[in-house]
Chain A
Amino acid sequence: MTSQAIFVLFNGMASGMAFFLVAAGLTWVFGILKILNLAHGAFFMLGAYISYSVGGASPASIWTFLGVALVAAAAVGVLGYLTDVLVLRRLRNVDYHYALIATFGLMLFCEGVAKAIWGTDYFAVMPPPQVDRAIVVGGAYISLYTLFVIGAGLALFAALEVIMQSTWAGKIMRAVSNDPWMAGTVGINVPLVLMLSVVASFVLAGLAGGLLVPNQALSPHVGASFVLYAFMAVVIGGLGSIRGTFLACILLGIVESANATFLSQYGGIAIYVLLALALVWKPNGLFPAQGAT
């Protein structure tokens, strides 16, 4: 029982941090632009493919692996800039339904592009050698790559918290998020801030793709499972709230891990129960962001 509890905790944290790596960009862009980007998973997928193309199936070291993930993040950031210019900028002053439809179309477009470039065969990327083994903790087998993902998620959360709460850039973004008109009147270049926010969101999607690619088989549908959990986390945590999303990801991860361990015959059901309870108890999320509805 103790080893199961230890395993549930570790596994839950690992899943939660994997969800957070994907959800961070999603909640960021919603917080600033109030756009729910349905194509976020597709750009995560492109980040994973770019990592595979640049770094191959067996990264030489953890530094190579991290470097390749940063390249993927930068490449998806460039795609984010293009997406902002060609699509998202046109959606800022229209009803949100149009944004949903447009980003859904964008998702299909990205999947089509991935199929055209990489085909429909599956690929598998291995973790870098330094984290490509397991340790046994209290009878539970814990992969070092799992610990790496937990570390990456915690580091990303810390970095986003520092940026948003303690830097001028973060304060400017919060100001634009809360009241873009007022931010404009005090001299903030609102279009530039919005564009940079979109790029940052896409960078986070690409980074998540690069870091999580050893976690599962690479195919044009690789983003689907992660992004589903990411959406749930954003809803439970509060649309646009990084702190809320972070906590919701941990909650989802642990609940899912406990479900798989103790109630495996009802696989996957517990997180939907959690989602339903959260919507009833806190319909605006654990930490509703200012301006979020």
Chain B
Amino acid sequence: MRRRAVLKSFAGAAALLGMNATYLRAQSGPIRVGAAYALSGVGAPVGKQMLAGTEVAAMQINKAGGLLGREVELVIRDDKYNSSESVAVARELAGDRINLLLGGSQTVTALGLAPLAPELNMAVIIVAAAGMPVTHELYNRNIFRATANNYTQYSSLGRTLIEQNPEIRTWVSLAPDGDFGRDSALFFGKAVEKFAPGEKPTVLDTIYTQATATDFRTQINQLMSSEAEGLYIGIAASAQISFFQQARSVGLYDKFKAIGEVGNGDITGKAMGRNTYPNLWSVCHWIHNAEPFASNPVSKQLYDDYVQLKGDTIPSAQVAAGHRAAMAIFEGIRAAGSTETDPVIDAIENLQFETVGGQVSFRKDDHQLVNTNYYSQMEPSREEPFFTFSKVTSIDAAEMIEPAAPGKAFNIAELTQ
């Protein structure tokens, strides 16, 4: 009897050691979090800045002693600004037993990741994709969108532009011919009409172009020939810079009294420098030396740590997006006391955490971030980097966000005006 008990104990111990070796290793090593950003191709200038923010967040957590007594390790992958590549990267990371992922730095990659997350049993933080389907028809409980959606973002931008420039009575949009471009121009125009003081302004038909176009002379000629004095530009990245290069030479800067742009922000400012349009309003994630960011302790620490890590004293606003998304998952792990998918999801649903722009949380119904959205006014400057942010305004997302409708496609016509 005693011999049997001893043998059983040996067998049990052997099974425990053998079967749970991986589990035990996983519990004692670093917490591995996937970080899939666009690190090559046309999305790289934005993706690399977001990754920098995520790296700073990991550095800050590790400097403070890690999470659950363990270090955080980022497993970085390049999604190449490509939907199928983002899916391949997620599958590869899942195969490597990584269940927590930061990805979807753009809508194109988020649309690939979102439906995959439940199958891979991953908790995925969508870093910066604003496309409506992510928290509507593609919603599932494994994904959280750590940025404002298109409707909130661009209706708030339209509201900002008309409130700051009420004298402009005719507006027009130039947008890429696709879902995002059509939506953002529509939301912008509707908000301009809704929030204009006094008589309703005229919003002209949107002028469309291709998202990756390099020649905008035809569209610029249409804009120059129009009655509009206010403009929304829905094209991003290098295309937007090419547009400004070509538009400036034909006098578009003199014709338009205000321009709102999709969110290039300092990327356009850095490229255009002294030739930055003088009343350019952008979706703004972060300006470290402008209020309200300058006095925010999270912002100050992010700036200091970014300079220490990268040796660059002029961080892009996109750094804050990568930092915010990473903090969501790190604080989720801390609150859950676990790295397992379900407890982390439960914890993030009930989380409130500090960012460079103040406290944020996720709406439990559709996992949409509820935050304060900021809009910055840019103009050229005589000093390096030859552009400056002259004003920052904010709108609370609670004032502009659409009602949660997980699983259902968004339709602006269904909103009460």
Contacts and interface: CB of A to CB of B under 8 A. Distances in A.
B251 interface: yes
A217 B251 contact: no
Contact of B271 (A7, A122, A133, A260): A122
B217 A124 contact: no
Centre residue among B41, B210, B214 by max chain A CB count within 10 A:
B214
A141 B220 contact: yes
Given A15-B215, A122-B267, A217 B242 contact: yes
Contacts of A123: 271
A293 interface: no
A221 B244 CA distance: 18
Interface string B240-256: 01101110111100000
Nearest to A258: B218
Interface residues of B, number: 40
A161 interface: no
Contacts of B239: 217
SS class, residues of chain A in contact with chain B: mixed
Give the size category of A's interface with B: 35 or more
A57 B41 CA distance: 23
Contact of B241 (A124, A142, A256): A124
Contact of A133 (B209, B221, B242, B249): B249
Interface in A251-280: 256-257, 260-261, 264-265, 267-268
A11 B217 contact: yes
Nearest to A219: B238
B313 interface: no
Interface string B278-314: 0000000000000000000000000000000000000
Centre residue among A124, A126, A145 by max chain B CB count within 10 A:
A124
Nearest to B41: A221
A99 to B, nearest CB: 26
A264 B242 CA distance: 19
B177 A267 contact: yes
Nearest to A146: B217
Contacts of A267: 177, 208-210, 213
A14 interface: yes
B45 A260 contact: no
B249 A145 contact: yes
Contacts of A216: 214-215, 238, 241-242, 245-246
A139 B48 CA distance: 44
A179 interface: no
A139 B272 contact: no
8 contacts: A11-B221, A120-B44, A122-B270, A141-B225, A216-B241, A217-B245, A219-B45, A268-B210
Instruction: Please list the 8 inter-chain residue pairs (A to B) with the smallest Cβ-Cβ separation, ordered nearest first.
Output: A217-B241, A134-B250, A216-B242, A260-B218, A217-B238, A124-B271, A122-B271, A225-B214
Given A122-B241, A219-B238, A225-B214, 4 more contacts: A122-B238, A134-B249, A264-B208, A264-B209
Interface of A: 3, 7, 11, 14-15, 57-58, 120-127, 131-134, 139-146, 214-217, 219, 221-222, 225-226, 256-257, 260-261, 264-265, 267-268
Interface of B: 41-42, 44-45, 48, 177, 207-210, 212-215, 217-221, 224-225, 237-239, 241-242, 244-246, 248-251, 267, 270-275
